[in-house]
Amino acid sequence: MNKYYIPSNMRPQLSIFKNIDKFTVLVYFILIIVGWLSVYAAEIKDTHQSIFDFSQHYGKQFVWILTALVLAVVILIMDVKFFPAFAYIIFGVGIISLIGVLLFGVTVNATKAWFHVGGVAIQPSEFVKYATALALARLIYESKTRTKTFQVIIKPFILIAIPFVLVVMQSDMGTSLVFSSFVIVLYREGYISGWLLLLGILAVILFVMTLLVNEFYIMGALTILGIITAIFLRKKPSAVKQLLVVLILVNGYVYSADYAYNEILEPHQRLRIAVLVDETVDLRGAGYNLHQSKIAIGSGGLTGKGFLQGTQTKFSFVPEQGTDFIFCTIGEEWGFVGSTLLIGLFLTLIIRIIILAERQRSSFSRVFGYALASVLFFHFMVNIGMTIGMVPVMGIPLPYISYGGSSLWAFTIFLFTFLKLDSRRLDLL
């Protein structure tokens, strides 16, 4: 027990907003307002010009924002102990909802990820990210004093794998990959070594290179590199042996990467990768979306065309212009300056959360904060990356900006839960 600790029931409850990180809340408000205006700019129609027209996405988004704010207040009112205490139960409910959606859900855009409840579509997988973050935080919190044996290390991976597999079964590749962002948390907590992470990044780079260059050239180049290194290491036979093993493994990987690309990935998945590598691939199909997305953003220029002046998104050249491709509207109407500000806002938010996470005394709060930062970062990276042709197209929203109730609610609950934990960081150990 810390000497400054004062039991919460003994302190005066001045306000539920006390100790809430105001800066983060400010960034949150800026993001949801930018998002609302962007949905309006992307989808405004001559016949429905009011931003409060509830038959349109922009009108509905206003409702989602108001209800999200109610949820935020509810989260702040709740007892902070609720979250660690109910982490597993919330996770369990989340898993059951994922199974339920597989059995009783509705298929939208070839993805079976939706419940229809009274005219409102709810996507449980958005909330499961939050539930998984809670469960992961609880699991790591519980094992903080244990020696990191294999059994200890494998548990969080199993925990993450459960929702991952279930979301894959919904055919929602984009959302399922969000769960892979938890490796950042595991890296921070020492469950994964930096080398392993580096190896993973190198593997991705090699994989992309095999698509660009004939795999035998790469294997040849790697072999030559290995031989040169071996000449330098000729005084150490054991090092040369290890090098040989690594070389064989890497060459095997390069060879099988090409095989995996051609034989394991579905044709539409291959195309999404192929269009990144070559702009001119399939301009009428998969490449069309990416091409139009880049046109919208590229045509914005330095300062953009001005609010509501964009043509590419409004006239439906860009697909999903209010949801997954919302960044196109921002790029088109606000140009490089606006894009820079938005990216700056996201980086500020994510780094702020990491800084807040690092000041937690409880590993539960810290892990939860990192999980939030990781999920936000993954969404940010994939969503913006795909609109500018740096990441394969995956249907995941830009947090707080994209139209969508489930996403906005889930990310609001996620953020405010963390802010609540942070505001009571002295109460938790």
Partner 1 sequence: MLNSNQSSEHASRRRVFIIIFIILTGIIFLARLFYIQVIDHRYKVYASSNVQRTITEYPARGLIYDRNGELLVYNEPYYDLMVIPAQVGEIDTTEFISLFDITREQFDNRMQSARHFSRFTPSLFQRQISKDSYAAIQEKLFRFPGFFVQPRTLRKYVHPIAAHTFGYVGEAGPSVIENEPYYRQGDYIGISGIEKHYEEELRGHKGSRIVMVDALNRAIGSFQDGRYDTMAVAGTDLYSSLDMDLQIYGEKLMQNKRGSIVAVEPSTGQILALVTSPGYDPDLLVGRVRSRNYRMLQADTLNPLFNRALMANYPPGSVFKTANFLIGLQEGGINANSTYSCPGHYRSGGITIRCRPHPQPVNPITAIQHSCNTFSAIQFRNTLELPKFESMQEALTNWRNHLMSMGFARAFNSDLPHELPGLLGSADYYDQVYGTRGWRALTVISLSIGQGEIGTTPIQLANFAAIVANRGFYHTPHVVKAIGAPDNLNPDYIEPNYTTIDSMHYEIMAEAMFETVEAGTGRFSRIPDIPMAGKTGTVQNPHGENHSAFIAFAPVEEPQIAISVIVENAGSGAAWAAPISSLMVEKYLTGEIKRGWFEQRILDAKF
Residues forming contacts to partner 1 in the complex (CB under 8 A) are 146-148, 184, 187-188, 190, 194, 284, 291-292, 294-302, 311-312, 314-317, 331, 335-336, 339-340, 343-344, 346-347, 350-351, 354, 358, 377, 381, 384-385, 388-390
Taking the least distance from each CB to partner 1, the nearer of 75 and 330 is 330
* Least spacing, CB of residue 349 vs partner 1, in Å: 11
* Least spacing, CB of residue 315 vs partner 1, in Å: 4
Three-state secondary structure readout of 65-131: HHHHHHHHHHHHHCCCCHHHHHHHHHHHHHHHHHHHHHHHCEEECCEEEEEEECCEEECHHHHHHHH
Tell me how far apart the alpha carbons of residues 65 and 405 are, in angstroms, rounded to a whole number. Answer: 8
Taking the least distance from each CB to partner 1, the nearer of 114 and 346 is 346
SS3 state of residue 122: strand
* Least spacing, CB of residue 107 vs partner 1, in Å: 21
Taking the least distance from each CB to partner 1, the nearer of 25 and 381 is 381
Q: Count of residues for the chain?
A: 429
Taking the least distance from each CB to partner 1, the nearer of 92 and 344 is 344
Tell me how far apart the alpha carbons of residues 54 and 370 are, in angstroms, rounded to a whole number. Answer: 36
* Least spacing, CB of residue 425 vs partner 1, in Å: 17
Taking the least distance from each CB to partner 1, the nearer of 249 and 347 is 347
* Least spacing, CB of residue 89 vs partner 1, in Å: 29
End-to-end Cα, the chain, rounded Å: 8
The torsion defined by the Cα of 251, 256, 262 and 263, in degrees rounded to 10, comes to 170
* Least spacing, CB of residue 145 vs partner 1, in Å: 8
Cα maximum dimension of the chain: 79
Taking the least distance from each CB to partner 1, the nearer of 177 and 295 is 295
* Least spacing, CB of residue 289 vs partner 1, in Å: 11
Taking the least distance from each CB to partner 1, the nearer of 125 and 294 is 294
Taking the least distance from each CB to partner 1, the nearer of 157 and 317 is 317
Alpha helices in 114-214 (DSSP H): 124-142, 150-169, 173-178, 183-188, 194-212
Residue 27 tokens read as 């960034």
* Least spacing, CB of residue 134 vs partner 1, in Å: 21
Minimal CA–CA distance to 395: which of 371, 379, 410, 416?
379
At 134, which amino acid appears? L
SS3 state of residue 302: coil
Which pairing describes strands 106-108 and 111-117: parallel, antiparallel, or unpaired?
A: antiparallel
